[in-house]
Amino acid sequence: MSKLFLVPTPIGNLEDITLRALRILKEEADLVVAEDTRKTGQLLKHYGINKPMAAFHQHNEHRMLQQLVGRIAAGECMALVTDAGTPAISDPGFLLVRACITANIEVECLPGPTAFVPALVNSGLPADRFVFEGFLPHKKGRQKRITAIAQQPYTIILYESPHRLIKTLVQLSEVLGSSRKVSVARELTKIYEENIRGTLEEVITFYKNKEIKGEIVIVVEGKNIQKDDEQLED
Ligand code: SAM
């Protein structure tokens, strides 16, 4: 059946894969397109799946696009997976989805693991409206993005690496104010999962002088216009 499936894979805990994801990888897909064929090969082996694979990552995705679209259009069923979580969420996928839609190919993303949803829900910050910012730019445009984020009235979600956590929290504190609430989710779904909640100042104090390891999502309270106005009147 000619189709592109986007198949979410665990972000740590190997139990976090759906029965449908396993069936599609095992039975329906003719080809598994993977960000890292070695990592995905190990994952598939864990689930007892043996499938032909092709590499699709940020360095070859433009080059591979037409070839993959051509193969699906010719009748193949493809499953796109990334190293962890949902494809296209801070990972390769968007270009392939867009190219398939343009070529009138059916696209189906399975629901499944992604880091930002448990991080948001664990934060205790409003989850009814939120903005997903992904990774902040490392250099060019970083300050401008933080300034824009500061005005967001909705809960803000950022992906971050452990060695940049303190720098990012300090920069957020400088622009958003040290009393803005934040939650740092680390190593979600893994043995040492940790959710540290507090003001930016408190969470910076918690992490300062600690060796920070693992994968991280930062969830920040949106700008509370009413509270900020009240503070200005005081
Ligand atoms: N596609 C993935 C998803 O759906 O969440 C995101 C891929 S992105 C390249 C990797 C980033 O996701 C990490 O740097 C971290 O910010 C976040 N992340 C992934 N797994 C995580 C985990 N177990 N705990 C906390 N954050 C995680």
Q: Would you say the CB of residue 85 lies under 6 angstroms from ligand 1? A: yes
Same domain flag for 143 and 212: yes
- The CATH number that applies at residue 28 is 3.40.1010.10
Q: Would you say the CB of residue 215 lies under 6 angstroms from ligand 1? A: yes
Same domain flag for 100 and 123: no
Distance CA 51, CA 96 (A): 20
Best residue among 39, 90, 97, 219 to mutate for probing ligand 1's pocket (most ligand atoms within 8 Å of CB) is 90
* Domain closes at, from 109, 135, 161: 109
Distance CA 154, CA 140 (A): 24
- Could you report the per-residue pLDDT of 59-95, keeping only the tens digit for each? 999 999 999 999 999 999 999 999 999 999 999 999 9
In terms of residue numbers, what domain contains 53?
3-109
Name the token pair of 194.
């940790």
**133 phi/psi in degrees, rounded to 5:** -100, -10
Closest CA relative to residue 21, chosen from 35, 40, 2, 38: 40
Q: Would you say the CB of residue 187 lies under 6 angstroms from ligand 1? A: yes
Quote the ligand 1 centre to 116 CA distance (angstroms): 7
Distance CA 177, CA 150 (A): 9
Domain count, the chain: 2
- Closest residue (by CA) to atom 20 of ligand 1? 11
**61 phi/psi in degrees, rounded to 5:** -65, -35
Same domain flag for 57 and 127: no
Q: How far is CA 107 from CA 3, 77, 205, in A?
A: 6, 10, 45
* Domain closes at, from 109, 130, 145: 109
* Domain closes at, from 109, 135, 152: 109
Same domain flag for 218 and 159: yes
- The CATH number that applies at residue 203 is 3.30.950.10
- Could you report the per-residue pLDDT of 104-159, keeping only the tens digit for each? 999 999 999 999 999 999 999 999 999 999 999 999 999 999 999 999 999 999 99
